[in-house]
Amino acid sequence: MLIFQPCSSSLYPKRTLSSQISLHRFSFPQLPTVAFPKQNHYARTGISFFGAKLNRAQRRSNQGVKREFEEEQENGGDYYNDDDDGENEFPSQVRFSGREEEKNYDKDPEFAEILGSCLDDPQKAQSKMEERLRRKRNKVLHTKTGSAIPMKVTFNKFDFSNSYIWFEFYNAPLEKDITLICDAIRAWHIIGRLGGCNSMNMQLSQSTFNKRPNYDAIQGANVTPTTFYNIGDFEIQDNLARIWVDIGITEPLLLDVLINALTQISSDYVGIKQMVFGGSEFETWKESLTSEDAGCSIHQI
């Protein structure tokens, strides 16, 4: 080990080697003490520079923590840990994140109580959780209210330009069921009116996706358009319903789109026993009934 001595006086002779032994608790071999002239002042200056850098870094760190503390106080948060015994020390990052997670349980104290008792009494916590699921199962689980029996589809002298589409439900549809069916028919009419169901332009569905698909815009623009002309109101009598359509052009793809949508509605939401395309009469439908009679209603598409 070399020990630098600053500014050694010229009155004393320079020592080359010394027999002094450094007193350490570890046993090291004897090292000589060498005295240098004033040039060793630069070594001390370098050490002081290093210490100054450490001090500046520490001050910057303290200033950053202070800024975070001031911002937290402005936001109305608690930066200090309330469980400390009067000591104003900054909590660790894990403790701070834990307090943030606890704030989420303020919106659901029941769930916080269940979590708090799961360690002391697991069976009690399990029973409380099961009771909670029973009470709120309608918000968590949405059971199917439709029919597992597939919807029957038949055609009876259907004319694309002037025909009725008839529906027979298993039960009289509720208001929410009527709204869902009307929205589906309305969307079907809008897509058809805009020419979205054109079987003459099926470039992507008829091509394989083994490679990047290619769409010919010129071919799509030159195809004869299919436009849904007109549609009537959705009329309901008890468990029967009908709607008048004027598709205007023979386009089976339009019918497939409607059948697919109503099949899913019948399976998940409201059971539809059968769907009949065409015909002027159906089951017990009465033309004399109006919307003011019981079980009758008219909904605009």
The pTM (predicted TM-score) of the whole model is 0.54
Q: How far apart are CA 15 and CA 9, in angstroms?
A: 12
- Model confidence pLDDT, tens digit, residues 220-238: 999 988 889 999 999 999 9
- Model confidence pLDDT, tens digit, residues 180-192: 999 999 999 999 9
75 confidence band (pLDDT: 50, 70, 90): low
Tell me what the pLDDT averaged over the chain comes to: 75
**CA pseudo-torsion sign 271, 276, 277, 279:** negative
List strand residue ranges (DSSP E) for 232-271, in order: 234-237, 240-246
CATH numbers and ranges of domains, the chain: 1-76 (no CATH), 80-138 (no CATH), 152-198+221-281+294-299 (3.30.70)
Report how far apart, in Å, the C-alpha atoms of 79 and of each of 83, 100, 222, 255 are.
Answer: 12, 11, 69, 64
Q: How far apart are CA 3 and CA 140, in angstroms?
A: 76
Alpha carbon 10 to chain centroid, angstroms: 81
| Range picked from 63-72, 108-117, 278-287 for highest mean pLDDT | 278-287
